[in-house]
Amino acid sequence: METVKESPPQPAIAEQAVPEKAVEPQEPAKSDPAEKPEKTRSFIESLRDIVFIASIYIFFAGFVYEYFYFRGFGIPLSALNVSVNTTLASSYSVFQDHPAVTSVLALVAIACAVGTTQFRMHLGAEMAAHLTRASAFTFGILLFPIAFGLAHDSADKRITELRDGTAGKLAYIFLRDPKPEAYDPGFVQSGKDGHISIVAESSDSIYVLHQRRDVPPPGATEALPGSKIMAFVYEIPKKDVQSVRIIIPGVAIPVDSLRP
């Protein structure tokens, strides 16, 4: 009988753990350095376009204001040779009289600049240009009548203030050898008394406003209370004017400020 020899037990081979590869931390994606200047450039270009379009409406508002203001006194705008800078400055009265509308328009302009910038970044310059033109055309159609109405209203307000005396723009005017037939009775004396308002000025003439009550009815020594005030606008050549003294309304000034 054969004996089966058992082989000695083999020592267990310890499994060696395979070291895992260390995962290197990934750096956050760096933004393209050219992206930020591109956004800034797009915003500046959009803002430039908005300012250019806004200047058109500012000039339009100033022109309408001047037209109706001087027309209210019978003065043709062409006779004054008003400069572009003066027309732009005249629009300030329009915006000052309507602060709520001005604020809304400013916010809309800023929103358009920001929106145009986003269009340029996401839709491309060409598509953004088409959208900008379409929105500007639509918005422009609505804005012209709005600017016209605001400017007309401001002009009427300035005329009323000058007529009722609340504007406080009175002056003394002294003429060289005034001819009685050239002026309304009492005009020369009103100029000496400081009851004349200067309306406009050109390179050769000044336009002044002289107001007086209606002629008293028969049997009365003075005009009735509540009667209309008659107004006359005179064009006086500067060569006939000896001097002009403008009255500035008084203000309360501390006594200490008057000391040297």
- Are residue 146 and residue 230 in the same domain, yes or no? no
Given 106, 138, 162, the domain boundary residue is 162
Task: Say if residue 180's pLDDT is above 80.
Answer: no
6 lies in a domain?
A: no
pLDDT of the residue at 61: 92
Does residue 48 share a domain with residue 85? yes
User: Does residue 145 sit in the same domain as residue 45?
Assistant: yes
Last residue of a domain, one of 162, 178, 195: 162
| Residues 82 and 158 grouped into a single domain | yes
Q: Is 5 part of a structural domain of the chain?
A: no
- Contacts of 53 by beta carbon, 8 Å cutoff, 6+ apart: 136, 140
Place 111 in a pLDDT band, splitting at 50, 70 and 90. confident
Q: Residue 123: count other Cβ atoms within 10 Å of its Cβ.
A: 13
* Residue 212 in domain: yes
**90 and 127 share one domain:** yes
Q: What integer best gives the mean pLDDT of the chain?
A: 74
Share above pLDDT 90 across residues of the chain, in percent, rounded to a whole number: 12
Q: Would 66 be classed as within a structural domain?
A: yes
pTM given for the model: 0.67
Pair 113, 142 in one domain: yes
Structural domain containing residue 104: 35-162
Domain membership flag for residue 3: no
Are both 46 and 135 inside the same structural domain? yes
* Closest by Cα among 216, 208, 212, 215 to 229: 212
Q: How many folded domains does the chain comprise?
A: 2
What percent of the chain shows pLDDT beyond 70? 58
Residue 197 belongs to a domain: yes
Closest to 85 measured CA to CA, from 61, 62, 101: 62
Within this chain, do residues 118 and 140 fall inside the same structural domain, yes or no?
A: yes
**pLDDT above 70 (res 190):** yes
pLDDT of 103 higher than 70: yes
- Rounded alpha-carbon distances, angstroms, from residue 236 to 175, 187, 204: 9, 12, 9
* Final residue before a domain boundary, out of 103, 129, 162: 162
Q: Is the pLDDT of residue 199 over 80?
A: yes
More confident call, 223 vs 149: 149
Q: How far is residue 33's CA from residue 227's CA, in Å, rounded to a whole number?
A: 76
Weakest-pLDDT range from 136-150, 209-223, 224-238: 209-223
- How does pLDDT run across 200-228, given as a tens digit for each residue? 888 888 998 888 755 555 554 555 455 56
Query: Which among 3-17, 165-179, 233-247 has the top mean pLDDT?
Result: 233-247
Q: Read off the pLDDT of residues 40-79 as tens digits, 9 standing for 90 and up.
A: 655 566 667 677 877 888 899 999 999 999 999 989 888 8
**Is residue 23, in this structure, part of any structural domain at all?**
no
225 domain-assigned = yes
